[in-house]
Amino acid sequence: MSFSLATPEIFLLSATCFILLLDVFLKDKFRSIGYWASLLALGVTLVLTYQSWTEAKALAFNGMFVHDTLSVVLKMAVLSIVTAIFVYSKPYLIDRKIFKGEFYSISLFATLGMMVMISANTLLMLYMGLELLSLSMYALVAFNRDNGRCTEAAMKYFVLGAIASGMLLYGMSLLYGLSGSIELSSIAEYVANQKIMSSVALLFALTFIIVGLGFKFGVAPFHMWVPDVYQGAPTPVTMMLASAPKIAVFAMTMRLLVGGMEFGSEGWQQMLIPLIVMSMVIGNIAAIAQTNLKRMLAYSTISHMGFVLLGFVSASEGGYSAAMYYAITYAITALGGFAILIALSHEDGDAEELDDLRGLSRRHPWYAFMMMLFLFSMAGVPPLVGFFAKLYILQAVVSAGFVWLAVIAVLMSVVGAFYYLRAIKLMYFDKPIDERSISMSISFNALLSVNGLLVVALGLTPSLMALCLIAIKQSI
Amino acid sequence: MESIYLAIPLAPLLGAIIAGLFGSKIGRKGAHIVTILGVGIACLLSFYVLKHIAFDGNAFNGNVYTWAAIDGLAFNVGFLIDNLTAMMMVVVTFVSLMVHIYTIGYMEHDEDNWPKGSLVGRHSYQRFFSYISLFTFSMLILVMSNNFMQLFFGWEAVGLVSYLLIGFWSTRETAIFANMKAFLVNRVGDFGFLLGIATVLMYFGSMDYAEVFAKAPEVEGVTMSIFGAEEWSVITVACLLLFVGAMGKSAQVPLHVWLPDSMEGPTPISALIHAATMVTAGIFMVARMSPLFELSTTALSVVLLVGAVTALFMGFIGIIQHDIKRVVAYSTLSQLGYMTVALGASAYGAAVFHLMTHAFFKALLFLAAGSVIIAMHHEQDMRKMGGLKKYMPITYWTSLVGSLALIGFPGFSGFFSKDLIIEAVHASSTPHAQIAYWMVLIGVFVTAFYSFRMFFLVFHGKERMDDHTREHLHESPWVVTVPLIALAIPAVISGYLLYPMVVGDFFKNVIAGVGTEGSLATEMKDHYHGIFAFIAHGLMSLPFWLAISGVGSAWFIYMRKPEIASWFYKHFRWLHTLLDNKYYLDAFNQRVFAGGAIALGKGLWAAGDRCLIDGCMVNGSAWIVKKFSAWSRYLQTGFMYHYAFSMIIGLLGLISWVIYKTNVLGISG
């Protein structure tokens, strides 16, 4: 019966439990068996997901679980990104002597959480997936538990995350109270019969939900945790925070706001606009003042998430698919940027100051070139993918009539270009402070090159955008 | 077949990439082997395609890749391979292959052309090969395209490579000036071209050739207003704009000024780019667009007059040049004028035919001039040459073949194509064709005069070089002479393709008018009675005797009685000054356009940039951003309760905002 629709999730859950147990019995020198088993589990899940590709939308578990093109595409993106994170982070974990099985099993549980979020069709499932993801992430941030900054970051993240979850849950319960259902399609029916702008209770529910979502996206003014956690967490975890969950949160927003409350778009548009404007302004301007590279990237994430939300403001298929495209491509670009940070780290400490980038082109020209690609893409320089992502978003926003928002977005991108270009300038025009040579494994370098190639190729070929458009059309 | 069509442009591209990016690793030998291999493959495949298309009649028109689609408008990468394309492909790849081989000899001591120890001079040999292969790729893309967008891509790409190659010796001031000039003048042409494409897109709603041509009769009567109320025929506007592009690329008056200066580049590229192929792109384009041009008499008339002016007046300048390459350059301008005249007279076939023969004999003449320059240790002034015949027999004889072909001596390729053009202009019904007829007729005399003036000054007469140079004079190595001989063969025989190519139906369904009743092409066919009758008729016609008298007077003035030349110089000083200053066009451009642009720029810089933008906006906004970022840093205290507090404030703010909004809407709704 419809159980089969959830085969990838079921497989991943079983495999993760198996890996968890396996790790207990492994001696330290066989640790990498756990690593390979995790990669295998992700690979098989990816194949299963790919095989489940359908043109038709299908429900399972009494309407709790939805399976459509959108979910397949997003799950495949998440799974690929987590796989890449595992490969990237291995040398870092070994250097820090935290190459433990827990890292993999917790990450796999987080992945499972994201998959649940992507396929959720009820408020309950959404919340469950989100909490599975969040709890795993709290643990991951604290992973290097002997490090003071790590635990501090985890503590902040946990407490603030709990507040946000509380607000989200409160909003959900209001919504349930109003509509009498936790199923998104019934909620959509209820909202369709209401006049959103005159129903104060509905607006309250919506506000709390948006605060929760805003926290998970990390948009202003719910962004304060982002720089501290990015800086405090071990670099692989930061990489994880900045990439895959953003896709899952996109899915959640898509399900909640568009799937559940599309007829209330007038209401959530009004609420998203101030968040977006603040994120773009604060994210880009505060990033300029940073000397710490991870913090700089944290602020840059804040502004990029503003862009993703901007796609929702247009409340059109074009806008949603542009937001989806943005979320996926940003995750890929951020992945590469953090991978360079991992490559630059050494046993004495993480590479996290801007100064660590100085003279990279002389120490390792290929890494410098790759980093330049990632930074240029984030700045939105054509023909890299970041440019097209911004272009699609702006197109949707302008055609929805919010020209002034597009103008702000473009102006703030100009401000943002400053700190990306400053990093590139440091790499290419300054003398290195640290003359140590950098060498990484072949798999790391190969993956990084593929990552760089993707940033170029996805921009040149419009196929991913076409795929996003198909997925969005089908899910609505 | 599609994979063959793809392989033809991609093989040179691959060669260019390898030689360009890995030049230091594969060395000189590796670079020329890999590029020659790439172009060689393209050349062989082009011959095969010619056979496949022209003899087996398998024209191809299809898209291989859709790059983007916007609002139902597809941007495709596609090929249109018909007889015209196949012919162009063969000419381009063959001449390019010859030039590649020749370059091995010409650039052998290139390191002497750079200042000692200069960084840009490193691997210049490999870079040069990379550029010419890249050029071949771009030119193939241009001719093989089946839509305007790809045409424009190729158009710009050949322009880029031409720019890079004119300024190849980038440490020389004159080279930098010349490539900047070529770039800017071409920008003017390309601007017109782009507007032309935009007009086509706007009124035809497609970029695909076939669709545009099919729609042409519908658009014929449509008019548009540009300035004020006056109505213009859309086809005329589109054709004129497209022709502005052709004027830039094919160096027609007044956009010709860049071509003589482009001789600053190494000679092989003067032969390949600035004589044989790239500069003929405009001619090719107009021939390709013949279904559109046929619908506008006004456009044809403009084309005709511009061509005639170029053909005659550029020839005059050629007479007084002393630099051996400049003489050939001005002859190129003049010959391009001939092709343009033919286009204007609706004799597209004749224009394309002359394009082909000209590609062979002009490449030959340039390469021969290059061979002389090598022997003379990079001395290009003809006043310091003379009597080279006995030192360089192969160069001598091949130059003779090239010159005879250029002046249109019966039996040589140029004779057939040029005679055909003159006849076509004579018979043409385009307005002003008769004026053009007399201009191209006088042009024949001028061509013969300057060609043989150069020939005699270089190869005959007194040896005027210094002793040191004379001691080292010798024939060039085989890599130089073999391409000369290989080009001399088509320079003679390609003329005999007259019947199949122009008179016959080779261009049927490709070029407008071929094969339809009452057209110029059909009329020519009726008057054609075999190749030998054509030659016999040529021997009795005016152009032949004009050419002979041109050669004769060149011989008499420069070999027998040099005092005639000085007498002319003394008594017609003003004419010489006028020609020496190229009708003052360069000075005019320099003063008005360049000077005006600089003055305008300085004014805007002072008022707008320095004061308004730098002063207020850049530094002002930078100051604000700095303050704001410092302030936001101050807010980021690191205390958790501050963070939680900001979240609560955010929530309250949102709720207040929503309530405010509902109230406002509630009142209004």
Residue B69 φ then ψ, to 5°: -135, 125
User: What ipTM was assigned to the predicted interfaces of this complex?
Assistant: 0.87
User: Which has more confidence, A133 or A476?
Assistant: A133
**Cβ-Cβ contacts under 8 Å, A275 against chain B:** 654
Alpha-carbon span A239 to B63, nearest angstrom: 42
Going by C-alpha positions, the residue among A186, A202, A174, A185 that lies closest to residue A266 is A202
Is B666's Cβ below 8 Å from some Cβ in A? yes
- The answer to whether the Cβ–Cβ distance between A285 and B653 falls below 8 Å is no
H or E segment to which residue B232 belongs: strand B231-233
Residue B550 φ/ψ, nearest 5 degrees: -65, -45
CA A120 to chain centre: 17
* Residue of B632, B662, B669 with shortest CB distance to A203: B662
Instruction: Quote the pLDDT of residue B40.
Output: 95
- Which residues, including other chains, have CB under 8 Å from residue B349's CB and lie 6 or more apart? B501, B502, B506, B507, B511, B514, B521
How far CA B182 is from CA of B43, B124, B159, B256, in Å, comes to 29, 22, 9, 9
Within an 8 Å CB–CB cutoff, is residue B629 touching chain A? yes
A228, A274, A415 ranked by CB distance to B657: nearest: A274
In this prediction, residue B664 carries a pLDDT of 67
CB-based contact A13:A66 (threshold 8 Å): no
Interchain CB distance below 8 Å, A198 and B630:
no
Task: Kindly report which listed range (A199-208, A332-341, A400-409, B559-568) carries the lowest average pLDDT score.
Answer: B559-568
- With a pLDDT cut of 70, the percent of chain A lying above it is 100
Which of B647, B655, B662 to mutate: most A Cβ within 10 Å? Answer: B647
| pLDDT score at B665 | 61
- A167 contacts in B (CB within 8 Å)? 651
Distance of CA A219 to the CA centre of its chain: 13
- Does A270 sit within 8 Å of B657, measured CB to CB? yes
Among A180, A374, A221, A216, smallest CA distance to A293 is for A374
What are the CA-CA distances from residue A409 to residues A89, A293, A393, A414, A423 (Å)?
Answer: 33, 23, 10, 9, 21
The series of mean pLDDT values per 10 residues for chain B, 669 residues long, is: 90 93 89 94 93 83 83 86 91 94 88 82 89 95 93 94 91 91 92 93 90 88 80 91 94 90 89 88 93 90 94 91 91 94 90 92 93 88 87 92 92 89 87 90 93 92 85 87 92 84 75 66 73 82 89 88 83 85 86 88 85 78 80 81 90 88 60
Token match 């205390």: residue?
B639
d(CA B250, CA B186): 10
Residue of B nearest to A227 (CA): B636
For residue A322, give its domain range. 3-475
Angle CA(B274)–CA(B277)–CA(B281) in degrees, nearest 5?
100
B627 in contact with A, Cβ within 8 Å? no
> What are the tens digits of pLDDT across the range A230-267?
999 999 999 999 999 999 999 999 999 998 888 888 88
Neighbours of A50 (CB within 10 A): 13
B665 lies within 8 A of chain A by CB = yes
Report how far residue B407's alpha carbon sits from residue B456's, in angstroms, rounded to the nearest whole number. Answer: 14
Distance CA(B129)–CA(B106), nearest Å, equals 12
Average pLDDT, chain A: 91
CA distance A122 to chain B (A): 24
Res B668: pLDDT: 43
- CA–CA min distance B76, chain A (Å): 13
Residues of A in contact with B647 (CB under 8 A): 160, 163-164, 211, 215, 221-222, 224
Min distance A64 CA to chain B CA atoms (Å): 30
Helices B148-166 & B234-249, crossing angle to 10 degrees? 20
Sequence-distant (6+) residues with CB within 8 A of B215 are: B204, B205, B206
The span from the CA of A150 to the CA of B90, in Å, is 68
B655:A274 CB<8 A: no
Residues of A with CB under 8 A from a CB of B: 155-156, 159-160, 163-164, 167, 197-198, 200, 203-204, 206-208, 210-211, 214-215, 220-222, 224-225, 227-228, 267, 270-271, 274-275, 282, 285-289, 415, 462
How many domains does one find in chain A? Answer: 1
Of A457 and B119, more confident: A457
Q: What is the Cα–Cα distance from B7 to B1, expressed in whole angstroms? A: 10
Which of chain A's residues have a Cβ under 8 Å away from the Cβ of B638? 228
Q: Are B273 and B165 in contact (CB under 8 A)?
A: yes
Please tell me which residue, B43 or A436, carries the higher pLDDT value: B43
- Rounded to 5 degrees, what angle do the CA atoms A249, A457, A451 make? 60
CA B290 to chain centre: 19
- For B629, the closest of A163, A228, A285 (CB atoms) is A285
The verdict on a CB contact (< 8 Å) between B644 and A160 is yes
Beta bridge mates, B69: B74
Closest CA relative to residue B90, chosen from B359, B488, B290, B349:
B359
Chain B residues in contact with A289 by the CB 8 A cut-off are: 626, 629-630, 632-633
Q: Is residue A12 pLDDT above 70, yes or no?
A: yes
B71 Ramachandran zone, left/alpha/beta (phi>0; psi -120 to 50): left
User: How far apart are alpha carbons B140 and B131 in whole angstroms?
Assistant: 14
Backbone φ, ψ for residue B466 (5° rounding)? -75, 165
The pLDDT score that the predictor gives to residue B117 is 78
Residue A434 predicted with pLDDT over 80: no
Hey, of B654, B663, B664, which one would you mutate to test binding to chain A, going by the most A CBs within 10 A of its CB?
B654
Long-range contacts of A379-383 (CB under 8 A, 24+ apart): A379/A413, A379/A416, A379/A417, A379/A420, A379/A421, A380/A413, A380/A417, A381/A417, A382/A459, A383/A456, A383/A459, A383/A460
Q: How far apart are CA A370 and CA B112, in angstroms?
A: 37
Of the candidates A155, A141, A133, which has an alpha carbon nearest to the alpha carbon of residue A244? A133
Asked if B662 and A197 come within 8 Å (Cβ–Cβ), the reply is yes
Residue B515, pLDDT score: 60
Which of A204, A221, A270 shows the shortest C-beta gap to B650? A221
* CA–CA min distance B246, chain A (Å): 29
Q: Which of A138, A158, A200, A224 would best serve as a mutation to test chain B binding (most B beta carbons within 10 A)?
A: A224
Beta carbons of A163 and B647 less than 8 Å apart: yes
A–B: how many Cβ contacts below 8 A? 91
Preferred mutation among B619, B642, B662, B663 to probe A, highest tally of A CBs within 10 A: B662
Q: Give tens-digit pLDDT for A139-172.
A: 999 998 888 889 999 999 999 999 999 999 999 9
Yes or no, beta carbons of B625 and A271 under 8 Å apart: no
The letter for the amino acid at A314 is: S
Q: Which of A198, A210, A286 sits opposite B633 (nearest CB)?
A: A286
Cβ of B647 and A164 within 8 Å?
yes
Q: Which pLDDT value is given to residue A439?
A: 82
Q: What is the dihedral angle through the alpha carbons of A115, A119, A124, A126, rounded to the nearest 10 degrees? A: 60
pLDDT at B89: 94
* Residues of A with Cβ-Cβ distance to B657 under 8 angstroms: 270-271, 274
Q: Where is B390: in which H helix or E strand?
A: none
**What is the reported pTM?**
0.69
Q: Per residue in A22-34, pLDDT tens?
A: 988 888 888 889 9
Task: Encode burial over B481-518: b for 16+ CB neighbours within 10 A, e otherwise.
Answer: bebbebbbebbbebbebbeebbbbebbeebbbbbbeee
Other CB atoms within a 10 A radius of the CB of residue B378 amount to 11
Q: What is the pLDDT of residue B632?
A: 77
Ramachandran region of residue A181, left (φ > 0), alpha (ψ -120 to 50) or beta? beta
For A70-118, what is each residue's pLDDT tens digit?
999 999 999 999 999 999 999 999 888 888 888 999 999 999 999 999 9
Contact state of B642 with A224 under an 8 Å Cβ cutoff? yes
